Chains A and B, each alone.
Chain A
Amino acid sequence: MSWFYAVTIYPLELIYKSIYMLCADLSGSYGLALIALSLCTSFAIAPLKRLVSAAMRKEHELQLVLQPQLKKIREESRGAERHARITRLYRRYAYHPVMGIRSILGVALQIPFLMAAYYMVEGLDVLKGQSFWFLADLSQPDGLLGGINLLPIAMTLINLAAVFSSPQMHGKDRVQASAVALLFFVLLYSAPSALLFYWTLNNILSLAEGLMQKGWTKCACWTAFVQRIAELSKKFEVLERPQILIVLAIIGFALDRVLYLIIQKGRFLEYLDFLMPLLQTGMSLIFILFLLLFLSWVLQKKFSTLLWTVFALSSAAVCALGMHYQHALWMLIAFLFITIFYRTGRFSTTAERLATHFPDRDLHALASKSLLLVALIILAYTPSRLMLADASFVSSHTFAILIVGSLLIFTVPYLIFHSTRKELQIILALLFCLLALVAVVYTFFLVRDYGVIDAYIFEHAERITLKWYRYVDMAAGLVILSAALVLFIKKLSILNKLITVALTVTILLCGYSYGRLLLADSPKPVAESSAPQKHLRLSRTAPNILVIMLDSFTGDHIGTMMKEYPHLLTSYEGFTWHPDTLSAGECTHMSLPSMIAGTDIASYYLNHDDGVSLEEKIGNKTDTFISELRSKNFSTTFAVSNTIPYIREKKYVSHSIFKEYAAKYQGESQGRAEYIPGIFAASYGLFEAMPWSIRKNIYRKGRWFFSGNSTFDRCVEHYSVLVHLSDMTAIDSGGSSYTLFTNELTHLPWSISKDTLKPVTYDPFPDTIETLEMRDGLVPEHYYAEMATIKLVGDFLDFLKQENAYDNTFIVLISDHCSGDSQPLSATFGNAAPARAKQTYPGRPNALMLVKDFHQRGALRVDDAPLATSDLRAMTEAAVEGRPFVFPPANRPRYHATGDWHRGRHGKNAYTLQSLWEINGPKLKRESWKKIPTNSLSRP
């Protein structure tokens, strides 16, 4: 990757990619997303285009003045005199022939944007096989005219139309431009149709823009349209009134709350399916409103009434749709204040007086210096300290992200500042200045120590959430605010000088740090954290018991896999699959306790309030289990998620272990990981510059603010732990071991590609927009995650065989519950082709049970004996004692409870049982299932 690409295009490509994938997610179509991307691009580069045309206009204007004089000079003089006169003429007009290419500077500025889109579209694997409208495969040339590609022809025709309809071009220009258009035809003839489609759209937009600016302004219907838009803006003027906005906000908020409450109760979701098109229509409406805003802006060359209207409506709508309602609400409140201040006459006299009190020059200086200071502190100073401390952050990507980030931090607010009215400028300048002061105070003075950073994780992360921080923040905030306000109003120049001093010091410090970075010996690549920590242990000689709990694995998908992908199961030598296994409860906390500690702490037995918390009841039982194991000289390892409160002696698999392996995985897999140090550096800069109590929002339980795609990240965490399972396992010749290891790769959300069985940033099965939407009774994304899990655990089994620790290990692969997409069980309950998971049969009973006894080998067997997940305890006991497991009688009743136990949300002493089912006989027979009252069972 060249430096040019890394610094200029790569960050933009990432932005493009995220916009594109977001649009694809929202619209559910890769084709529509291309249209959205094209609109976004046109919108984003519009200011640049304006810059270019301004530069060209300036050049043109100058040439109009210079050319007659040059002509005269050429007529009147020759040789040295002519050259001297021309030089004097150029000097008078402060011109140099090199400025003739200033129009090209704008183009050069556009190139990175355009190339980013080009690379993004080119590099998108997801487009393979995706059809859209008349295009069969977006990743291939279209070949629509009997093998001849239609899109390049259409594109060229549109280009030529643009050339010949542009009033700016004449004679020679047209010939040149046509030649360039034909050149592109040749160059792009066999490019992927997605690229051409996108490119053609861009050209159509620019053609439309050209027509709009030139010819159409004189056209009658166009004038009528413009007038209509202007009238429309006037009609909406009433919405500018603050009281109406407040009412709208309240309605929006109320609607949001109601919808939020309904949606939060996930079980009602299926009844809300009809709402989905409505929600999407709402989004489309907002989009159309924004388009109208854009048009009115372009036409009237100013932010019109419509802008405020659209902001008001869309904020209320976004609120109502329940999407990021908190952010929308804050935006709305801020917007209200600004509107009240900006639009009502009430403040105008004060505003006028303020305007004369604050000279433009001082305000502009304050705003620009403050923004520069903020950008420097967040994206230059703090990251430089980080890079000095750890050379692994020094990379071109880090610099690229920091440079682009600081440009954004500086330019965008400054442009907004620059284009607003004086009253607003006063507020913005104060705001920027406050931000800068906060950044200075917190970065340089109120410094906190959170321990060392290891793999982006703080050693003492718990210090981030200390409650007393808010008092420090309040005090600091009060001091900063009052000092800034007093200075701002009384002595603006002193405030300006203060910021200048801070800026100078920061620049010097940055210079010092980057100087040291430059002078430092070539940065040593990070020492690959040499030996990964061994979190699990198995004995090569003594018996081991290894329980791998795969959250949400739907048991009978093993049967589907045996048919469709038998090679995934070849490593499972000596295993027996028990398809008729029933989970005790529909969620982890209703199922896992009885798996570890036995049937008598199943959820349906514990629901009597005896003043003892569930945590304690289950904890006591697991403690007993652990001490029993210890008494038989078994070492114990509980590598479980930290959301499981009742195993008191455990190793958290999340946090440090996840992150360590996720970082390791990302370091190994190419592509995505490259920009992570840059993202982290930027996030860390922001973290250090923010008040203490806000920092928990920037560093959220090991995740950094800018790190984006949570589905992918979460998936990578669990995936990478499975990939490195063998690395983190120590095999020795010590005593026996018991290991409970849980993994959530099979738990939603899922992001595993079917082809590679590796994490991907896009929807692995885009045909189903919803996470739980099914195809033929199965959630494809879930199934792919299960396939990846089976494959990776299989690799680990091979590793055990290689290390001679296979035969002496009793292995169980079990799931706490299924994910609601069991095809046979759906059929049992009369739903041959259900649309959504979880709704077709009671609860999520279809658990996985794959068992390998000591010294078992041979192909995977299937045993139809009815089992329950709570039988695991008995199996474990038998294995510990070295005796065979005695299957319970086939006619014993089994139970499955639905409901939940959310700590904090529900009572601590009881489960919220919604239904209880008694299963007498095979679970795939409808007549085996009988609903019984939730309190009808008492502890045996």
Chain B
Amino acid sequence: MNKIRYDVGALTLFALLLVPEQAFAYLDPGTGNALVYGLISLASVGAYAMKSAFYWLIRKKNHEQPGSTTQSEGLPSLLIYSEGKNYWGTFRPIVETLIERKVAFRYWTQDIHDPALLIDSEYMDSRYIGEGSRSWFKLNSAQADIMLATTPNIGTPGYPMSRSPKVGRLIHVWHSIGDFAYAWYHKGGLDSYDEVLTAGTYMDAQIRLLEQKRDLPEKKLTPCGVPYLDGMFTKVRESSGDTPATDGKTILVAPSWGNKGCLNVYGVDFIADLARAGFSVIVRPHPQSLKVEKALFDSFKEQLASFPNVSWDEGVDGSASMRKAALLISDTSSVRMDFALLYERPVITLEMPLANLSEYEYDELKPLLAQSSMELEIGSRAGKADISRMPEVVQATLSAHSSRDFAAIRSKYVAHFGRSGEAVAEYLITQLAK
């Protein structure tokens, strides 16, 4: 049907171009060139249509079932929806396991650069659904028994995507770690979901609290972990032999950007102090900082230029710096958990003033979060009072390191550490079987 529509469209267009013959006399070369391209494209469309017809006939002659190009008959009952390539880290281990287990599923993405589209598998019916209203329309009328997504806010007022009535169960897969992970969701972010594949059971209390407050039906919670760590963990394991472990004297400073960034609040004096105290410091600015606050960071660089033991890492992949570092100093960034769990090394969290958070779940989770001990479990906290004596704080945190049980922290915050993707896929397969 689609093909017919396209071909009729092409014919109409061609006719349209033939009618105003004078038009060609009034076009600039650029436009003329576009017309030539148009004609070439038309020719290739024709060739493609003819080929399609030819192979269709051949198949028909050989009594093959014409038309179907994928194994999946009808609509596979599992649909994975991805916002784009940034979420491929989360979806890749899941998708790979599903293909390995020969389970047919659909994968919809709004990003033409999503690496998922490169996979040509008979089990995976992947589709670029476009951006903007076209894709929202498609998503809002999606049909599936199970729809898996990382996107919070589906179905909340003001968000373009609503929960499709034709989706049986909407399942959220977690893609960040820590006590505060849920707190940074916009209010009502998970309210329309039926199930949540949590990072670990520590999240249950938070989710239940909001369900009670809002009088929502209880979601089914299954601890599956955080799939994006799988790939990173494999990488760390594979590369740990290549480079010597940390020298114990290298500190990585990785701030967030904008007014959430610790350098914007505390400045770089503490880095100078650390350098003077003999630590090697690697500063890794957030990629966004290099775009929008370049002047500020240039002045930081100038201030630290005289210290040969302060270096700047502006590369795409931060794993080399992480590998070298004995300790990480950061703010609210989720890189803290990545660093602590993957490398089993301590983190100093710089306290940040809280902006207006009324739009976030934090607002309601406050009482629970007050008891949070995560930052102390993975390292220590430092505030305004401590900033002038950072070398001491760093030293103290490093010395206390041996007393920390990272295996326990891992299992508390990430279920199925290192094979979360598999866990998610297996859970989905059992659900589909039902």
List residues of A whose CB falls within 8 A of some B CB: 2, 4-5, 9, 52, 56, 61-62, 65, 69, 80, 83-85, 87-89, 91-94, 96-98, 100-101, 103-108, 110-111, 114-115, 117-118, 159, 162-163, 166, 169, 173, 176-178, 180-181, 183-184, 187-188, 199, 202-203, 206, 356, 359-361
Contacts and interface: CB of A to CB of B under 8 A. Distances in A.
Interface string B16-44: 11011011111111111111111001101
B29 A87 contact: no
A166 B44 CA distance: 27
The list of the 3 closest CB pairs from A to B, nearest first, reads A180-B32, A104-B38, A100-B41
B120 interface: yes
B10 A173 contact: no
Contacts of B256: none
B316 interface: no
Contact of B27 (A56, A98, A114): A114
12 contacts: A5-B20, A56-B34, A83-B55, A89-B120, A91-B69, A92-B128, A100-B45, A104-B38, A118-B22, A162-B29, A176-B36, A356-B359
B70 interface: yes
B387 interface: no
B261 to A, nearest CB: 24
B158 A360 contact: yes
B29 A180 contact: yes
A188 B29 contact: no
Interface string B156-169: 01101000000000
Nearest to A210: B30
Contact of B10 (A5, A98, A203): A98
B292 to A, nearest CB: 16
B158 to A, nearest CB: 4
Contacts of B33: 169, 173, 176-177, 180
Residue among B2, B13, B25, B30 with most chain A CB within 10 A: B30
Contacts of B158: 356, 359-361
A162 B29 CA distance: 8
Interface stretch (B95-103, B111-119, B305-313, B336-344): B111-119
A837 B67 CA distance: 84
B42 A101 contact: yes
B159 to A, nearest CB: 8
Contact of A115 (B23, B29, B36): B23
Contact of A184 (B25, B42, B51, B113): B25
Contacts of A178: 29
Contact of A108 (B7, B17, B24): B17
A206 B27 CA distance: 12
Interface residues of B, number: 54
A2 B25 CA distance: 19
A103 B112 CA distance: 19
B19 A159 contact: no
Given A115-B26, A361-B160, A93 B128 contact: yes
Residue among A61, A162, A360, A361 with most chain B CB within 10 A: A361
Contact of A88 (B7, B42, B58, B70): B70
Nearest to B2: A96
Given A69-B118, A84-B55, A178-B29, A94 B130 contact: yes
Contacts of A9: 20
Contacts of B32: 176-177, 180-181, 183-184
A159 B29 contact: yes
A207 to B, nearest CB: 9
Contact of A110 (B31, B36, B160): B31
Contacts of A159: 28-29
Interface string B114-152: 000110100000111110000000000000000000000
A199 B117 contact: no
A62 B117 CA distance: 12
Nearest to B136: A361
Contacts of B3: 96
A92 B10 contact: no
Given A91-B69, A93-B112, A188-B25, 18 more contacts: A80-B55, A84-B55, A92-B127, A94-B128, A94-B129, A97-B44, A98-B10, A100-B41, A101-B10, A103-B37, A107-B35, A115-B23, A162-B28, A177-B29, A177-B32, A181-B32, A356-B158, A360-B160
B7 A98 contact: yes
Given A91-B127, A98-B45, A100-B45, A181 B29 contact: yes
B2 to A, nearest CB: 7
B318 interface: no
Contacts of B126: 92
Contact of B38 (A107, A206, A360): A107
Nearest to A104: B38
Given A61-B112, A83-B51, A360-B158, A104 B34 contact: yes
B315 interface: no
B9 interface: yes
B427 interface: no
A101 B41 contact: yes
A100 B44 contact: yes
A87 B69 contact: yes
B52 interface: yes
A56 B38 CA distance: 11
Contacts of B45: 96-98, 100-101
B6 interface: yes
B13 A101 contact: yes
B184 interface: no
B300 interface: no
Contacts of B25: 118, 184, 187-188
Contacts of A91: 69, 127
Nearest to A155: B28
B48 interface: yes
